[in-house]
Amino acid sequence: MIPVTVIDYKAGNLTSVVKALKYLDAEVTVTDQAEEVRAASRVILPGVGHFAATSRLDETGITDALREVIARGVPFLGICVGMQWLLTGSVEATGQPGLGYFQGWCQRFPEGSEKVPHVGWDHILTRTSPAPRLFAGVEQDEFVYYTHSYYVPTTILREGALSLENPIAASTKYIATFAAAVEHENVMGVQFHPEKSSAAGLRVLKNFLEFRC
Amino acid sequence: MLSKRIIACLDVRNGRVVKGVQFVDLVDAGDPAELAKRHATAGADEIVLLDITATHEGRGTLLDTVRRTAKELFIPFTVGGGIRSAEEAAAVFDAGADKVSINSAAIAHPELIDAIGRSFGAQAVIVAIDARRVAAQPVDEAEVFVSGGRTRTGRRVIEWAREAEARGAGEILLTSMDADGTRAGFDCELTAMVSEAVEIPVIASGGAGSAEHFAQVFQAGKAHAALAASIFHFGIADARALKQELAQLGVAMRLPC
The more confidently predicted of residues B127 and B182 is B127
CA distance A46 to A83: 8
pLDDT, position A166: 83
Question: pLDDT over 70 for what percent of chain B?
Answer: 89
The mean of the pLDDT values for chain B is: 88
pLDDT at B147: 79
Chain A residue with minimum CA distance to B90: A13
Contact B233, B21 (CB under 8 A): no
Q: Who among B74, B199, B224 is closest to A20 (CB)?
A: B74
Q: Is the pLDDT of residue B15 over 80?
A: yes
**pLDDT, mean of residues B232-240:** 68
Cis upstream peptide for A130 (omega within 30°): yes
Q: Where along chain A do its domains lie?
A: 2-209
CA dihedral (A47, A49, A55, A60) positive or negative:
negative
Catalytically annotated residue among B98, B130, B180, B187: B130
pTM of the prediction?
0.94
C-alpha A143/C-alpha A198 separation (Å) is: 9
C-alpha distance from A81 to closest chain B C-alpha (Å)? 11
Average pLDDT on A12-29 reads 94
Residues of B in contact with A49 (CB under 8 A): 120-121
Give the best residue of B6, B63, B123 to mutate against chain A (max A CB count within 10 A): B123
Average pLDDT taken over every residue of chain A: 94
Tell me phi and psi for residue B228, to 5 degrees. -135, 140
d(CA A207, CA B17): 36
What pLDDT is stored for residue B16 in this prediction?
85
Q: Is the pLDDT of residue B200 over 80?
A: yes
- B39-94: pLDDT as tens digits: 999 999 999 998 876 555 545 557 889 999 999 899 999 999 888 899 999 999 99
Q: Is A48 helix (H, G, I), strand (E, B) or coil?
A: coil
pLDDT at B250: 96
**Can you tell me the distance from the alpha carbon of A22 to that of A16, in angstroms, rounded to the nearest whole number?**
10
The residue-averaged pLDDT of A45-54 equals 89
Percent of chain A with pLDDT over 90: 86
Q: Across residues B214-229, what is the average pLDDT?
A: 94
CATH of A2-209, one of 3.40.50.10330, 3.40.50.880, 3.90.170.10, 3.40.50.720: 3.40.50.880
Alpha helix stretches (DSSP H) within A32-104: 34-38, 55-59, 62-71, 81-84
Any idea which of A77-81, A159-163, B104-108, B155-159 has the lowest mean pLDDT?
A159-163
Cβ distance B201 to A196 less than 8 Å, yes or no, reads no
For helices B32-41 and B63-70, give the axis angle rounded to 10 degrees: 30
- Whether B122 sits inside 8 A of A117 (CB atoms) is yes
Q: Give the pLDDT band (50/70/90) at residue B22.
A: very low
* Lowest mean pLDDT segment, chosen from A124-138, B42-56, B127-141: B42-56
Sketch the domain layout of chain B as residue ranges. 5-248
C-alpha distance from residue B177 to each of A138, B10, B12, B80, B129 (Å): 42, 17, 18, 17, 10
Residue A198: which of B74, B95, B224 has the nearest Cβ? Answer: B74
Please give the pLDDT value at position A161: 65
Query: What is the pLDDT, as a whole number, of residue A143?
Result: 97
Q: Which residue has the higher pLDDT, B209 or A11?
A: B209
SS percent in chain A: helix, strand, coil, step 5: 25, 30, 40
Question: What would the mean pLDDT of B119-128 be, rounded to a whole number?
Answer: 92
Residues of B in contact with A143 (CB under 8 A): 3, 254, 256
Predicted confidence at residue A87, as pLDDT, reads 97
CA distances from A6 to A83, B226, B252 (A): 14, 34, 35
Q: Return the CATH class of domain B5-248.
A: alpha beta
* Cα dihedral across residues A113, A119, A120, A123: positive or negative: positive
| pLDDT for residue A132 is more than 60 | yes
pLDDT > 60? residue B238: yes
> Is A119 part of the contact surface with chain B (CB cutoff 8 Å)?
yes
Alpha helices in A54-171 (DSSP H): 55-59, 62-71, 81-84
> Given phi > 0 = left and psi -120 to 50 = alpha, else beta, which region is A18?
alpha
Pairing between β-strand A150-151 and β-strand A125-126 as defined by DSSP bridges:
unpaired
| Cβ neighbours around A61 below 10 Å, total | 14
pLDDT at B217: 98
Relative orientation angle of helices B188-197 and B211-219, to the nearest 10 degrees: 30
Whether B198 shows a pLDDT value over 60: the answer reads yes
Judged by CB atoms closer than 8 Å, whether chains meet at A48 and B124 is answered as yes
- Active site annotation includes B51: no
Q: What is the pLDDT of residue A181?
A: 98
pLDDT for the residue numbered B23: 47
d(CA A47, CA A9): 8
> How confident is the model over B8-14, as a mean pLDDT?
87
Beta bridge partners of B131: B144, B176
Residues A15, A18, A21, A22, CA torsion sign: negative
Please state, in angstroms and rounded to a whole number, the distance separating the CA atoms of residues A186 and A28.
19
When pLDDT is cut at 50, 70 and 90, the band that residue A47 belongs to is confident
How confident is the model at residue B28, as a pLDDT?
66
- Give the residue among A41, A40, A37, A83 at the shortest CA–CA distance from A61: A37
The C-alpha atoms of residue B188 and residue B221 are separated, in whole angstroms, by 4
